[in-house]
A and B are shown apart, each in its own frame.
Chain A
Amino acid sequence: MSSPSYAIGVDLGTTHSALSEIELDLSEGEEVAQQMFSVPQSVAPFQVEARALLPSFAYIPHEREFPAGSLALPWNANPPLLLGGLARDLGAKTPTRLVSSAKSWLCHPKVDRRAPILPVDASEDVARISPLEASAAYLAHLGQAWDAAHPGTKLSDQELVITVPASFDPAARELTAQAAVLAGMPGATLLEEPQAALYAWIARTPHFRSQLTPGDLILVVDVGGGTTDLSLIAVLEEEGRLALSRVAVGEHILLGGDNMDLALAHAVGAELRAEGKMLDPWQLRALAHGCRAGKEALLSGAAESDYPLAIPSRGRHLIGGTLRATLRRQLLDRVIFDGFFPVVPVDSRPRHQERGALTELGLPYARDAAITRHVAAFLHRQLDATAELPGFESARGTFLHPTAVLFNGGVFKAPGLMDRLRDLLDSWLEADGAPPLRVLEGADLDHAVARGAAYYGYVKRGGGVRIRGGTAQAYYVGVEQAMPAIPGVDPPVRALCVAPFGLEEGMTADEPPQQLGLVVGESVRFRFFGSSVRREDVSGSVLERWTDEELSELGAIEATLPADGASPGDVVPVRLSARVTELGVLELSAISLEGERRYTIELDVRSD
C-alpha cells in the first residue's frame, strides 16, 4: 500500500450518496484543496453522466428490459445492478424491482441483513439482494468510479472515511464496515454524520475558534432524506487549546425530508381526489417532487402564498392530460409545521402509538412524525450529559441547554424550517432563563457530510481540531439469573456492563470480572442492551432493574465456541472483552479462561 495522496469522505446516505476528496499534497493547515467528486452514473440507457450525488437506489433489471450493453459504465461493461438516478427513475414505474432505503434496512434488527430480502415486495423471478450487498454496491460504484477517474491511484490506498448515523447501533456499524470490505475498501474508518457536519463547518469557517468558547454546547440537528440524527458536542479547553467532545447522540429516528414531501403529496392528492381526479403511484411521485420544490419556495419567501403544481400525464397528450393542483400555504403549514415541527412544550414526548398486531414486514418508521418532540425528549434525556465536564455548570432547569445549533440535511434548504426549530428551541431556553442559541451558519446542506468526512480524514493525519467521542452508549449483555424453574415465568435477567460509555477508537475496555459459562459447539445468544445516559457504569457493573429510558434493547448477539479441544456440550468458563477498533467498530469477544482463547461474538444476529 502506497502512502495516500487523498483524504476521501464518503457519505453513504439513505437517499443519496456522495464523495468528497482532499488532495493532501496541496493542503497545508487550514488551507485545504477540497472538491466534490462527480459520480458517473446511468441517466438513461446507453447514457452515462457525472453528477455530484449518487441516488442510493438499486434497480434489478429484467434480462429483456434493456438492450445488451446499454447499462455499461466506464469501468464495467455489464453491471449486474443498475444504481443511481436511472434506477430511481425506473423504480417509479416498476417499484417491484427497486431497492431503496437499504441503509435503513441495514440497521433493522428484526431482519437478517445478510439475507436477500430486497426489494421486499419483489416478484419471485427477481434476484433479490441483501441490505449488506446493496450498501456494498453503492460503495463499490463510488470506488470504481473514483479509480476510473484517477488512473494510477486506487481509492483503497487513500485515507478513507465513511459516515454512519450517530444513532447506528454496533451491529449496523459493523455491517457498514463489512460493506466497505465487500466493496474493496477494507481500511475505511467510520465517522458519525453529525460530527462530519461539524467538521464541514470547521473546514469552511475561517477563524472558527473565535466563534466557539469553552462551555459551549453545540446541538447538531441533521435531518436527511430518510433519517433524523441528533448529537450534542461540547466545547472544552484542554491545556489552553480548544477541544471538542461529542457527549450524546439521539435515538435512531426513521423520519426525514422524503416523508415530508410524501405527506404533502398525499394531502394535495386528497384535495384532487375530492375533485374526482385520481393519481397513480407514478403521478404521486411526480407530485411529491413538485411539493418539495413548492415547500422550498414557500419557506424561503421565493413564492407568495400559493405554489402552483402540475402533474404530467403519462401518454403523449401532455396539455389536456396534465393535472393542475395548488400547494397552498395553509396546507403546507398544517402538514409540515403542525405535523413535523409543531410548537410543543419542552416536556412533551414522542407518542408511541401501538400498532396493529398484524403489521407487514417493513421498516420501523418513527411513530411520531413530530421532530420537535423527538428533540425535546433528547434534550430532557441528556440533562446530565455535561455534568462531569470541566467548565460546564451543573444542569439546571428541566432539559440540557445547548448554546449553539448546527443544522444539516436537505430539509433545511427550506429556511423556514430552520427558523421554526430555532425559535422553538429559543422559547424553551428563555422559559428556563437561558440565553438564545447561536446558529452556526454556512453549511453546504447536500454535501456537508461527505466534505466533513474527508476533512476528518485530513485532520486525522496530522494537526487540526478533532472531535473526541468514543461510543455514545454503554453496552450490556443480559445474563439470566440462576433460579429454580417456575413454569411460565422467565428467569429474571441482569444487565452486565461490558463496554463503558465513551470507549474510544483503538481502546479495549477492562474485562468485567464476572465469569460466564458458554456451551461448546453450540451457538449461544445473549440479549444485548445499550444505554445513552448511564455514563458512570464501568465494565462489570451489574444492573438488576432499569427503566426503558435508561436501557434500550438492541438486537441479540451470538457466541459460537468451536468444539476443538473440548467435547461438545462442555461448559467453558469465559470472560467477555470489548474493544473499539481503530476503524470505529465495536468488537466483543469471549476469552476462555483455560487456554486464553479468544472467540468473536457476532453483533448482527437476527432476533426472532
Chain B
Amino acid sequence: MSASRPSFFVRFSLAFAAFFRTLFDADFAAGVRDLRLPAPEPEPEPVPLREADADAAMQLLAALQRKGRFLDFLGEDVSSFSDADIGAAARVVHDGAKLAVAELFDLVPIRSEQEGSEIELEADYDAHAVRIVGDVRGQPPFRGTLSHAGWRVAAAHLPKLADGHDACVVAPAEVEL
C-alpha cells in the first residue's frame, strides 16, 4: 500500500512538475482535465429505497408482547428449560400472538389450491405473489407443485395513534402499588 502512495516530498515535486507541464503542454493539460471531470458515460441512477416505518413495526411488536408475551419469550434462554416448560410458555405466545395478528391483519392464502397439488402459472402470473423454485427454465405458462400456498394481508387494521405516542415503549414497566 505504502509503495503505491507517494510520500509528501515525492508528491511536492510531482505537483511542481505537473503544474508547469499542464501550463505548457496542451495534450497533457487535456489529460488532467479528463482526470478531474466525471467520466462521460452516464452513471446508473441510484435506486431510491423507501425507509420502512419504524413506528408501525414497533406497534406490531407491542401488540405481540401485550397479547402474546413475545419479547419475554424471545428474551429467555431456552436451552436451560425442559421442553414441557417451553411448551407451556409457547401456548401463551401462540394463543396471544395469534389473537394479536388476527386483530391487526386479515390474512388470506395467495393460492387457494391444496398444497401438494399440481398447478399451472399463467403467462402473466404475478412474480411478486408467486415464487418459482427448482428447475427454473423456459417460458411461462409453468406447471409445478404448490409447496406453500402463501399469505397475503387482505386488510390491515393497525391501531390509530394519538399525538404524543412514544412507540419505542413496546411494553411499559409495571409497578404494583
Contacts and interface: CB of A to CB of B under 8 A. Distances in A.
Contacts of A209: none
Contacts, number: 85
Given A47-B160, A48-B160, A324-B88, A318 B69 contact: yes
A293 interface: yes
Interface residues of B, number: 31
Contact of B160 (A74, A312, A314, A322): A74
Interface string A298-331: 0000000000111010101111101110000000
B88 A48 contact: no
Interface string A37-60: 000100111111111000000000
Contacts of A71: 162
Most chain B CB neighbours (cut-off 10 Å) among A68, A312, A314, A318: A318
B128 interface: no
B96 to A, nearest CB: 8
A48 B66 contact: no
Contacts of B36: none
B69 A312 contact: yes
A46 B72 contact: no
Interface string B70-111: 001101101001001110110111010000000100000000
Given A68-B164, A319-B85, A308 B66 contact: no
A567 interface: no
A329 B159 CA distance: 38
Interface string B37-64: 0000000000000000000000100100
A314 B174 contact: yes
A320 B160 contact: no
B164 A67 contact: yes
Contacts of B131: none
Contacts of A308: 88, 91
A70 B165 CA distance: 7
B103 A49 contact: yes
B57 to A, nearest CB: 14
Contacts of B88: 308, 310, 319, 322-324
A317 B159 contact: no
Interface string A7-48: 000000000000000000000000000000000100111111
A267 interface: no
Given A48-B162, A50-B157, A74-B160, A318 B73 contact: yes
Choose among A50, A69, A322, A324 the residue with the greatest number of B CB atoms under 10 Å from its CB. Answer: A322
A317 B73 CA distance: 8
B112 to A, nearest CB: 23
B162 A46 contact: yes
B72 A48 contact: no
Nearest to A89: B66
A318 B74 CA distance: 9
A72 interface: yes
Contact of A319 (B89, B95, B162, B176): B89
Contacts of B93: 318
Interface string B120-164: 000000000000000000000000000000000000010111111
A208 B174 CA distance: 54
Given A47-B59, A319-B89, A324-B84, A40 B160 contact: yes
Contacts of B160: 40, 47-49, 74
Which 10 A-B residue pairs are closest in the complex by CB-CB distance? Answer: A46-B165, A47-B159, A310-B91, A318-B72, A49-B159, A72-B162, A324-B88, A319-B89, A312-B92, A319-B76
Interface of A: 40, 43-51, 67-72, 74, 93, 290, 293, 308-310, 312, 314, 316-320, 322-324
Interface of B: 59, 62, 66, 69, 72-73, 75-76, 78, 81, 84-86, 88-89, 91-93, 95, 103, 157, 159-166, 174, 176
12 contacts: A47-B165, A48-B159, A49-B160, A69-B163, A74-B160, A308-B88, A310-B88, A310-B92, A312-B92, A317-B72, A318-B93, A320-B85
